[in-house]
Every structure is written in C-alpha cells, then in structure tokens.
Amino acid sequence: MLKDAFPDSSTTLMVGSPGIGMLEVTASIAKEWMEAGDQVVFVSVDLLPKDLIEVMDAFGVSEELRNDRLCIIDYHSSLLGSMDCNDPCPGTDVKRCSDLEGIMFNISSLASSSEGRLRIVMHSLSTLFLYNQANVVLKFFQISSSRIRNEGGTAIFTVNEGVHDEKTVNHLMAISDGVMELKFDEDLQRRMRIRNMRGCVTSSKWTPFDIRRME
C-alpha cells in the first residue's frame, strides 16, 4: 500500500520525468488515504478541478467518497486569467486562490478545521516555478512544509525532473522529509523508489509499477 510509505508529520518530494504518471500515482495514493478515512486536500496547479475529478473517477474514486473526503484548492484557474471558469464540480468542496499566500491560508484553515488526519497533494511545484520567482517558491515550500509538519499532516509535492537547475532541486530535497523518484528504465518501463525518508529505513531498489484505470 503506497499510502503507508508516507509517515505522519512529513513532506515528500515526488520527482519524475514528464509523462511518467505522477498525477495518476498521486491520485491513487489520495484514493487510499480517503478510503482509510483521511481528509485529502489536492492543490490543483496543473489542471482544472473538473479534470482532476475525471482522473479520480478513472481510478475508482466514487462520487460519495470524493464529496465526503476531498477538498480541491484550485490555483490553475487563476493561471488561465479567470477565477470564474465554467468548471462545475457539484458536491465537491473547491476553494479557489490566485497566489501562494492563498494556498497556504487555505491549507492552514483546513488543517485547523479537520477532525482527522489531513493529507495534502500538490501537483506540481514545477508550474509554480514558471509563474513565480524561484526564491519565492522555495520560501513557500519551506514555510508550508513546516506548517504541515507542525499540524501533524502529510504532504506530497510533485516536481518534474530535468526542467530545473540542480541547485534548486537539491534545495527542495533538503527541505523535504523524503524523496520519491519515478523514472522510465532503458526499456521504457516505469520504475519507482523511496530514495530516502527521514526516520525510516528505505531501500534503493527500483520497483516496477503500472498505471491502470478502472474499467
């Protein structure tokens, strides 16, 4: 069970090449968290809420479970130049924001009001770097990671491999409690591993994985 790889009070950086399937992997993890009774906050930076819900549906997240256990923080709409996008998501809690402070405010507010454990997914940091200065995104990541740990939450932040300078990625890794890597091998088969996780013993072995949608 992938969800068990991420301990409480931790932030994990998921690093993968474009097209490897980080969105689908995080959707699968979010499903496991929701099915275990946890509240999930998905910060949607790269796609609209309705598109995220389609992905969730494809991986077997029922409408009842989604409406009960999922909150979407919609940052992507602001990148399209409108906070009034025609994006109906009946029953699902969607909170819109247009800046990094809005993301942090909504996460803190949800953490304060949540009765159970809060699980957070942000997809992806790479897009934030496109629209904000690097030092601003790094500060955002550091502050939000600290708040999530202090409030007992668990978070996964995705970042694309090969599109940022090595110093920036190393800085993100240093702030994170753990690093999960996804890659294609020489035969274009998908592989993943937990590179490190603070306080845990991890294996450097690459494990095969596949992306299978519900029929």
Domain boundaries, the chain: 9-207
CATH classification (class only), 9-207 = alpha beta
Does residue 214 surpass a pLDDT of 60? no
% the chain with pLDDT above 70: 94
Task: Please name the residue ranges forming H helices in 88-165.
Answer: 100-113, 125-131, 134-150
Q: Which band of pLDDT confidence, cut at 50, 70 and 90, is reported for residue 3?
A: low
pLDDT, tens digit (0-9, with 9 covering 90-100), for 49-83: 999 999 999 999 999 999 999 999 999 999 988 66
Give pLDDT, residue 51.
94
- Token readout for 200 is 């845990």
**Angle CA 59–212–53, to nearest 5:** 25
**Mean pLDDT over residues 135-158, rounded?**
94
Using CA atoms, how far residue 4 sits from 27, 29, 33, 70, 195, in Å, is 15, 9, 9, 19, 15
Buried residues in 94-123 as b, exposed as e (16+ CB within 10 A): bbbbeebeebbebbeebbeebeebbbbbbb
Give pLDDT, residue 87.
62
pLDDT, tens digit (0-9, with 9 covering 90-100), for 86-121: 566 888 999 999 999 999 999 989 888 877 789 999
Give pLDDT, residue 116.
76
pLDDT, tens digit (0-9, with 9 covering 90-100), for 152-177: 899 999 999 999 999 999 999 999 99
